[in-house]
Amino acid sequence: MKNIKSFFAILAIVAVSASVSSCNRGYGCPNNFSISEQAVQAAQTVVSAAAVGMLK
């Protein structure tokens, strides 16, 4: 369980860092942080699959 928590913590840090650092790469600064329902469902599917894979 501890491995899963640390994995998701690292994943969250990487995601936030990548979105914020896009200003420096010329893509423009992120200003719309709303998440569509489809993106949330996709993330839930990925997380569920990863959790099942890690528990086996």
Query: Which DSSP helix (H) or strand (E) runs through 35?
Result: none
pLDDT tens digits for 30-39? 666 666 777 7
Structural domains counted in the chain: 1
Degrees, nearest 5: CA angle 34-42-55:
125
CA dist 19 and 13 (Å) reads 10
Identity (one letter) of the amino acid at 34? S
pLDDT tens digits for 8-29? 888 888 887 776 665 655 666 6
What is this structure's pTM? Answer: 0.39
Residues 6+ apart with CB under 8 A from 1: none
Domain residues for the domain of 29 are: 2-55
**Selection from 44, 47, 27 nearest residue 35 by Cα:** 44
* Residues 51/4, Cβ–Cβ less than 8 Å: yes
